[in-house]
Amino acid sequence: MKNVISLAALSLVVSDVSAHYIFQQLSIGSTKYPVFQYIRQNTNYNSPVTDLTSNDLRCNVGATGASTQTVSVKAGDQFTFTLDTPVYHQGPISIYMSKAPGAASDYDGSGPWFKIHDIGPTFSGGQATWDMEGSYTYNIPTCIPDGEYLLRIQSLAIHNPWPAGIPQFYTECAQISVSGGGSATPSPTALIPGAFKDTDPGYTVNIYSNFNNYTVPGPAVWSCGSSSGGGGSTPTTSKASTTTAKPTTTTTTAKPTTLSTSTTKVTTTTTTPPSGGCSVAKYGQCGGNGWTGCTICASGSTCSKSNDYYSQCL
Ligand SMILES: *[C@@H]1O[C@H](CO)[C@@H](O)[C@H](O)[C@H]1NC(C)=O
Ligand SMILES: [Cu+2]
């Protein structure tokens, strides 16, 4: 069993090693800081973490605080994580925070984490669209207590469906010192590792087959408007993690479409004119079981198979 898994993992790595992505640069407001000035530098280049029990899930491999500076921010400030290469694996983006007992640079991330943002897929006409960007922007919650925090972004790549493929975590942590905040107690919280399980539907889902709703793994998203009192908010973990407005809204509309077409070939609404006109950008998906999109790679790249469910223009 173990051999089967590592063989599968190995073949993925081999076919897909050329260009992963790193959340390497932080901006606060419109000020963009040098690469890895305030983000802990990992030592595994652009490779993902796949071990659900590893401490490397927190901030990535080798990412320690000692050589990283901590940036001062105001509660409510806008921040941006910029990548070296835009995200190109399908999957959700999440942003977490964890308060350091003292200095962020001394903190190993072993304390509780709360989640401030999720970006799941949008469903339309039986097709899912993931938000794959070169940067992601959000705001520090206005009501969190002052102090030093790790600010963590995560791309969970689920393009190679479990169990044939192993989902990949691309993650990085910034060190921030917050002032001007409030007295909220963010909840629910989770430990990392521990927050993600191979039984989470959002981890095991096959996004190429009958895919019409999605729950982002991890604790429910917390915001200042929600349960700032702390302690009171029922064990919402599973309930609230489905809250992402977009998927919920579209679930109802998407389901009928998918149900009626799930076994027959999906006559995709309009996606592509015949077959000559389309083109998949480099690193995009170009095939795999259940794939109904374009299979022609932009010039300069060719469609290569990663596994039965995923081929990619490389
Ligand atoms: C889709 O919704 C159903 C019903 O709520 C749930 O059981 C399932 O886990 C969801 N799938 C995903 C991938 O979140
Ligand atoms: Cu990859």
Is ligand 1 within 6 A of the CB of residue 205? yes
Listed residue (164, 172, 10, 21) closest to 88, CA to CA:
21
From residue 41, give the alpha-carbon distance in Å to each of 61, 109, 111, 237, 283: 9, 15, 20, 31, 24
Listed residue (22, 231, 28, 30) closest to 140, CA to CA:
28
Q: How confident is the model at residue 160 (pLDDT cuts 50, 70, 90)?
A: very high
Listed residue (123, 65, 61, 115) closest to 93, CA to CA:
115
Burial-class residue 101 by CB neighbours within 10 Å (0-12, 13-18, 19+): exposed
* Domains along the sequence of the chain with CATH: 25-190 (2.70.50.70), 284-313 (no CATH)
- Whether pTM > 0.85 for this model: the answer is no
The whole-number pLDDT of residue 88 equals: 93
* Nearest ligand to residue 165 Cα: 2
**Does the pLDDT at position 51 exceed 90?**
yes
The whole-number pLDDT of residue 225 equals: 85
From residue 69, give the alpha-carbon distance in Å to each of 139, 149, 173: 20, 12, 12
Q: Which phi and psi angles does 177 have, rounded to 5°?
A: -120, 115
Residues 151, 156, 158: CA angle, nearest 5 degrees: 175
Distance 50 CA to ligand 2 centre (A): 11
- For residue 97, the one-letter residue type is M
- What residues are neighbours of ligand 2 (ion), with CB under 5 Å? 16
Distance between CA 311 and CA 159 in Å, rounded? 10
Q: What is the mean pLDDT of the chain?
A: 82
What is the per-residue pLDDT across 127-139, written as a single tens digit (0 to 9) for each? 899 999 999 999 9
- Comparing 307 with 106, the larger pLDDT belongs to 106
**Are 314 and 287 in contact, with CB atoms under 8 Å apart?**
no
Ligand 1 nearest-atom number relative to CA 213? 1
Is ligand 1 within 6 A of the CB of residue 213? yes
Return the bridge partners of 172, or none: 153
Residue nearest to atom 2 of ligand 1 (CA): 213
What is the per-residue pLDDT across 165-183, written as a single tens digit (0 to 9) for each? 999 999 999 999 999 999 9
**Does the pLDDT at position 140 exceed 70?**
yes
Percent of the chain with pLDDT over 70: 78
Distance between CA 98 and CA 116 in Å, rounded? 11
Mean pLDDT across 246-256: 34
The whole-number pLDDT of residue 231 equals: 36
Mean pLDDT across 53-78: 97
**Pocket perturbation via mutation, ligand 1, pick of 215, 216, 248, 251 by most ligand atoms within 8 A of CB:** 215
**Are 126 and 212 in contact, with CB atoms under 8 Å apart?**
yes
CB atoms within 10 A of CB 50: 18
What is the per-residue pLDDT across 82-99, written as a single tens digit (0 to 9) for each? 999 999 999 999 999 999
Lowest mean pLDDT across 2-11, 153-162, 247-256: 247-256
Q: How confident is the model at residue 304 (pLDDT cuts 50, 70, 90)?
A: confident
Ligand 1 nearest-atom number relative to CA 211? 13
The whole-number pLDDT of residue 19 equals: 66
